[in-house]
Amino acid sequence: MKPLFGAIILVLLAFYFAPSYANGAPNSHSSVHIRVDQSGRGDFTKIQDAIDSVPSGNSNATFILVKPGIYREKVIVPVDKPFITLSGTNAYSTIITWNEPWTNVQAPTVSIMASDFVGKYLTIQNTFGPGAQAVALRVSGDRAAFYACRFISFQDTVLDDAGRHYYKNCYIEGATDVICGDGKALFEKCHLHSVSKNGGAFTAQRRVTAAEDTGYSFVGCKATGVGKMILGRPWGLYSRVVFANTYMTNAVLPSGWGDWGDPTYQRTVFFGEYRSYGPGSDASGRVVWSHQLSQPEAQPFLSMAWIDGQDWLANPPSKHP
């Protein structure tokens, strides 16, 4: 009975920690399972060691289960190691933490450079605090998805740098430019929280030309804070951000958006809102160069099609462990 029981467990683990991409798929007939456990009862005690064990040019679906603990290390998933799923069992008990300001591209706590990455049930934080940019998560690979994760820092918490990305049921905390970069991302049912008492911006998207197909869409999210924040300011001349069906507390300033002190941006950015609600959603005080969208105008930003998710995202997990 023991061999049969073990086989059943492996099948269940493969199903539960399966990645969310559906096409351009890895070799599903040769999946790899790795366990990281600080107690020494796994294959590795450090997350980076587990990632380093994945061969360059990986074509196998690779599931790395991280047992609960506080992992004080920087983690990099290099560009030549796609098809990795990194999963804890609960974001509150599985924490990857580092303390470093942005001094170079390897400063973030976790950097995802590979394509077809999935992260689940993890807290990723940079504890540097005020005084400099301190990225918790950098995502530069294409087709990356995150489920039920927590991202915590003070400035530039999530550098959504390049590629198409999906965030579902995630908590994202910071003080200014909380989500920044030039990726194309859909945030669904995420909670954005500001810890700034002196103002700041939830987003700083960096689209630089009208032809560039990037931007951030927030659907069914929540925006809260201890002080007052704007929804976004333009890091790039054609910055594009939309908030739809989002609950906004009075932490959101009546003006809603900022131009980073340069009125030139007002003619080229696209900052839109659609059917948001709560005390911070009142459109009467919004800057005149932002947009209150009609349903047809909002539609391109509301579904998986915004990030071509119908081509690479399978059904996300329906519940937490």
Q: CA-CA distance, 222 to 191, in Å (whole number)?
A: 5
CA–CA distance, 90 with 150 (Å, rounded to integer): 10
Q: Which residues pair with 139 in a beta bridge?
A: 112, 160
Task: Say if residues 266 and 236 touch (Cβ distance below 8 Å).
Answer: no
155 in Cβ contact with 30 (< 8 Å): no
Helix, strand, coil share of the chain (percent; to 5): 15, 35, 50
Q: Which residues are identified as catalytic?
A: 156, 177
Q: How far does Cα 130 stand from its chain's mean position?
A: 21
Measured CA to CA, the distance from residue 75 to residue 237 in angstroms comes to 32
Judged by DSSP in three states, 295 sits in helix
Phi, psi of 76 (to 5 degrees): -130, 125
